Every structure is written in structure tokens, then in C-alpha cells.
A = this chain, B = another copy of it.
Amino acid sequence: MSIRFALLSLLSGREMTGYEVSQQFGRSVAHVWHAPDSQIYPELRRLADEGLLDVEEVDDGARAAKKRYRVTDAGLSALRDWLAEPTPGRRQRDPAYLKAAYFEWTTTATARERLQEHLDFHAEQQRMLEEARATLLDRSHPTLRRRLERYPASEHERIVAWKVFAYDGLVDAAAREVAWARRGLELADRLGDGLGDGPAAGRQA
């Protein structure tokens, strides 16, 4: 259900067409909440149907009719209500950890592959997040700039501070995953090639 609030959050910065939303989404909110186009467009329509967004058909003649969305007062108030609601505790559900806990069933070589994969993925995530964090800090992030323009300078620090805080957490999380995978690779080294009688060898007692 958060997809709608991710969209309201993004649109709270400025009005956008559906296409812009789908583009901007990837460059900003997606770092905290991923969603594909096939979820974005229908949800925009639903939000409009419920009066949380205003739609304006922008017919620029030639091109396909685009729609410009703007958050309504009802939309803002839904956003505030959501922020004021307790956040349901997140369920543990990461396949990488599930696999790791049962690496006994595979060879050390395979475990190493999975860990290297994990390392590469989160190192790349970390890089992207650090980059985004930097453009927030120096206020060069385009979506943020447009957002700040609407508020007095006295508010800017507060707005930026929370976003940087969120990104700090994400960068840390990615770095932690990288470190974990590294420790796993070291453990693989210590365990050696796993030859022997173990479950990994396919024999059971």
C-alpha cells in the first residue's frame, strides 16, 4: 500500500505528468521504494479517482495526450495521516540470508559465488546511494531543487536534513551488506573446499 504514498510524496514536490513521475521515480523515490511503470500508471489513476490527485489532460496536439497530476489538499492530508500512523514492523525476508543459513547443502565454491554476487550488488547500490546523497547534501539534486523553490530558505535545512538522514541509513545498510559478504568469503576460505562427508557431498547419514 505504500506505493500510493511514494507517489504522493514525489508529487508533493511539484506537479508532474505520468511520464515524468515514472522517470523521476527512478531517480529519487525508487531508492527507498522501487516500483515498475505497470504499477505507477494505474495507481496514479486510482489516486485521481479518489480525489487525492488532480488530473489535467495536456493535449500538446501531436503527441499522445499526457496527463498532469497535482496533489490535492485531500492528498496532502492523506500523506500526513500516513506519516502519523505507526509503521508496521517489517518481516524478515531476504533470500540471501536464507541461503546463507543453509550453505551446508552446497559446496564452498557455490557459497562463494552467492556471496560475491551479494557483494557486487550491494557495492553498486552503495555507490548509487552515495552519489544521490551527495547531490542532496549540496542541493544539486534536480527533483530536490524544484521542491525547495516552493519554500522559504529557512525551511530548506529541515527538508534536506531528513532526506540526507534517510540516505545515510541506506548507504550504511548497503555498506553493511558488503561487509557481511566479505566476512562470508573469509569464512569460505577458512572452511576450505568442503570435500568430505558432509551434506554438500550428497551423502546423508
Contact = CB atoms under 8 A, between A and B. Distances in A.
Given A151-B198, A183-B168, A191-B161, A12 B89 contact: no
A141 B139 CA distance: 51
A62 interface: no
A113 to B, nearest CB: 8
A160 to B, nearest CB: 9
B155 A197 contact: yes
Interface in A77-110: 79-80, 82-84, 86-106, 110
A38 interface: no
Contact of A105 (B83, B187, B205): B83
Interface secondary structure of A, over-half rule: helix
B183 A165 contact: yes
Interface string A153-173: 011011101110111111011
Interface stretch (A16-24, A29-37, A44-52): A29-37
Given A34-B91, A165-B187, A170-B92, A80 B97 contact: no
Contact of A100 (B103, B154, B169, B196): B169
